[in-house]
Amino acid sequence: MNLVLFEQDRDFIVQPLRHGQMDYLEPVTEALEADLFRQLLGRQILQRLAETFPTPRQKEEVPVWLYLASQISLRLHRAAGYHAFPYVIRTGGLLAALGPAVGRQAVHPGSGVASVSCPGFNHKNRYDRQTPCDQDFLRKFARDTDSGRLQAWFNAQAPRLLRSLKLFDAEGLFVGDASYLFVPDNEHYEHSAKLLFDEHHHPVDPQKVDPRDRRYQWRRCYKLVSLIHVNRSLEFFLVVGGAGGCRAEACAPARPGAGPTGT
DNA sequence: GGTTCCACCCGTAGTCTCCA
DNA sequence: TGGAGACTACGGGTGGAACC
């Protein structure tokens, strides 16, 4: 974790920290994240995934493996949007794993301010690069990727990769899990559906309950069905496949009140 | 010269926060 | 509780670099 403080900020920030007052704790340390990406890169995992990724680009400037690594890093930091990419790069461990050929971090000896310098993968930039690629590249690459091909790619490559790494338990236990992803009530969320949920986030049949009951709420959502591999002692779980979407008929609860928890 | 990629910029809409 | 302003996410446009 990098923390650069100016003199006037110290009392304001350090004192509450000493008393255990914190609004948010970063769940991933720089060292742990760097170790993860060293494994992924050193064992050629990201490169192998990139070879089959359904890239929307006809020619490649920024490598696909960097796109995949950036997406993983954003998820690790729970970044909701690409806007956070410069901050994730500056504070996370991805840059350390990638090495100075992709970017290096330096702390100014006088001011103590940390800065990042990245050579990039082309010479189209006008300003000094703070990230290996522009956040707009990640955003538009993701937007242009065909969702159907992406889902098919994940469902094919994830089990293939896990099998090659010998990560499947010999007993071969798989669990089907359905979750509901709640979104704001905005019809621009394509293929989302409004369902009636009870106070435990279980979908219920509006024909069989009183929708005016305040315990029930109409909520817009997507449904995610995941195939998860576990061992009997539940020491780990691996998501090996999934399907998303939420047309009303597909999202209707199979058994009122017995649905999965919202996630 | 045409095409593609992407860095950079801008406008818009949605969401959040603050305050009366 | 509602309005104003700030913030954020996103789509679209532009122009330069790279390549054929």
CB A69 within 8 A of CB A38: no
**C20 nearest neighbour residue (CA to C1'):** A59
Rounded-to-integer distance, Cα A86 and Cα A36, Å: 19
pLDDT for res A27: 52
Q: Specify the amino acid at residue A85.
A: F
pLDDT for res A20: 58
Mean pLDDT of successive 10-residue stretches along chain A, which has 263 residues = 46 58 56 89 90 84 89 82 82 84 74 73 79 86 84 91 91 89 71 80 86 78 88 90 64 37 31
Number of neighbouring beta carbons within 10 Å of residue A181: 15
pLDDT for res A246: 58
CB A262 within 8 A of CB A221: yes
pLDDT for res A145: 86
Nucleotides of C under 7 A from a protein CB: 8-13, 15-19
CB A130 within 8 A of CB A86: yes
Query: For A133 and B3, how far is CA from C1' in angstroms?
Result: 22
Return the closest nucleotide (C1') to the Cα of A134: B7
Rounded-to-integer distance, Cα A241 and Cα A247, Å: 20
In chain A, what is the greatest distance between 2 CA atoms, to the nearest angstrom?
69
